[in-house]
Amino acid sequence: MRIQIDLQLCQGHGVCVEEAPEVFRVVSAPGRYDHAELIVAEPDESLRKQVEAAVKFCPNRSLKIVD
């Protein structure tokens, strides 16, 4: 599974981390909003439900499953 994070939209709320802590983390970015980052480049299919929840509940609609 491949995931895109739109860093123009992401503001580091961390909802994605709450939904899928094995997949996302929030990192600091001096001079701009904190933002999400993938812990694993291509998460295993077993994590799809959690990733779908992260996509659904991201308040900025920054996440997309692309594959």
Shortest Cβ distance from residue 2 to ligand SF4 (Å)? 15
In angstroms, the Cα distances linking 13 to 1, 5, 10, 18 are 23, 13, 8, 10
Shortest Cβ distance from residue 45 to ligand SF4 (Å)? 20
Return the number of other C-beta atoms located less than 10 Å from residue 58's C-beta.
23
Among 12, 23, 43, 50, binds ligand SF4 (CB under 6 A): 12
Under the criterion CB under 6 A, does residue 20 sit at the interface with ligand SF4? no
Under the criterion CB under 6 A, does residue 23 sit at the interface with ligand SF4? no
